[in-house]
Every structure is written in C-alpha cells, then in structure tokens.
Amino acid sequence: MKRLRDKYDLKPLVIHTNYLVNLAGGNDLFLKKSVEAFRGEIERALALGAEYLVLHPGSFRGLDREQGLMRTAAAIAGAAQGLDLANSGLTILIENTAGAEFSLGGSFEQVAEVLEYLRHLIPVAACIDTCHTHVAGYDIVSAQGLQDTLRRLDETVGLKDVPVWHCNDAKAARGSGLDRHQHIGRGSIGLEPFRRLLNDSRLAGAAFIAETPIDQPGDDARNVAALRKLVKK
C-alpha cells in the first residue's frame, strides 16, 4: 500500500470506518464491541500511514441526544487510549449525518460538540458530506444558501477543521433526512452547487471524495470526471 501510494502520489489517504460501528448506542454489549471494532480501525489506519479516519457519530436510540453525544466522545477517546495519535499523523474525522430520527451529527453544532470534547485528547476534525448536509435541511443549492451554510459551518466547526468533503448528489429532497446518494448532477442538488464548492478559495486545501453509487461499471470514474470538469483551471 505504501509503495503504491508513493507511485501514484496518493494523498491524503482517507479511510471510512465500518458502518456497523455505533459508539453512541445504549446497548452496553454492542457498545463494547463497537469500541473494540473502532480500535481495530484505528490500528489498521496507523499501519497504513493514513492521514484521516472518518467516523459517523452513531445512533442514540435508547438514550437522549446529549447522552448519545457524550457516549460517542467517551467511546472514541477510549478506543484510542494508549495509542500515540498525536505523533502519528492520523486525525479522526467526525462526519455529519443526514439527520434521521436517532442519528447524531445531523447539525454542525452536534459535530462541533463532539470535536470540542475530544480536542484536548486526540487529533480530531470534521468530514462534511454534501448529501447529508442537504437532506438534513441546510440550503447548499442556491448561491446565497451555500454561503450562509458555509458561514454557519465556519462559526460552529470551523472551515479550517474540515479537511475532507464527501461530494455526493442526493436522491431525496432537502430536509427529508433520507441518506440516499446520487450521481453528480443527477439529483436534487445539481451541478452548480458543486462548482461553487470546489472553487471556493477557503476550501482550496481540502480533499474532495466522491461516494456516489456504482450502478454500472465505470460510474465511479465518471462521477470523479464530472467533478473535475467543474474545477476552474
């Protein structure tokens, strides 16, 4: 992996945590297994020399939202205990979510709260997903709406603490809470918001990753090409 990264100049390396990991759950046995599984994800990310490890904050079913946030933060810290992340080059990224009934991270404020709890313990930052942002109710489609959303993101999480973006169009409507990714330009977000986002000078140092569907062979390459065409030379 390291040889191939050097050969193709692949950086940063961003890994996504297994979706079954839920560090906010009210079930103690499942929480224990999730912490162990996340510990394994961290160890593998370190072995690969990854720069970022993305994590969904989890589902707080059986708890209230504040308890879920605190449980997630404590579980992340517990999973990383004894590992020298500060000198490893690896940062844990908390991803915003679609805002479904029991999911954490549907607002920038919730993401910021988890980061604030962990900031003095381990290297942390945020990953922002365009589909999740849109279906959680933020306006990123209109030019003014995107500017307002970025301003709110900056006031809560901080744009400097968003080194990775997931660029996904959405099958569902704004505010629906439905996490259904769509091909770039073929969903309810459309092409222009991605053009504005990719060319915003404040985000020039960020990595943009497509997590779009693969309905037919080559769809992943076509979605990346669609994003590349939007970037001003």
Phi, psi of 210, rounded to the nearest 5 degrees: -90, 130
Cα 16 to the chain's mean position, in Å? 8
DSSP structural state of residue 96: P
Partners of residue 95 on adjacent β-strands: 127
The domain 2-230 belongs to what CATH superfamily? Divalent-metal-dependent TIM barrel enzymes (3.20.20.150)
- CA atoms in the 13 A half-sphere facing the CB of 38: 30
Phi, psi of 78, rounded to the nearest 5 degrees: -65, -40
Residue 207 has pLDDT above 90, yes or no: yes
Mean pLDDT value of segment 101-107: 87
Query: What gap in Å lies between CA 53 and CA 176, rounded to an integer?
Result: 27
- Residue ranges of domains in the chain: 2-230
For tokens 């692949």, what's the residue? 10
Residue 64 has pLDDT above 90, yes or no: no
Query: What gap in Å lies between CA 200 and CA 232, rounded to an integer?
Result: 10
Query: What gap in Å lies between CA 8 and CA 228, rounded to an integer?
Result: 18
Q: How does residue 103 score in pLDDT terms, banded at 50, 70 and 90?
A: confident
Q: Tell me the one-letter amino acid at 111.
A: V
Alpha helices in the chain (DSSP H): 2-8, 28-48, 65-79, 108-118, 130-135, 143-156, 191-198, 219-230
Residue 207 class from Cβ within 10 Å (0-12 exposed, 13-18 middle, 19+ buried)?
middle
Q: Which of 55-64, 115-124, 154-163, 210-219 has the lowest mean pLDDT?
A: 55-64
Which residue, 24, 127, 124, is CA-closest to 71? 24
Q: How does residue 219 score in pLDDT terms, banded at 50, 70 and 90?
A: very high
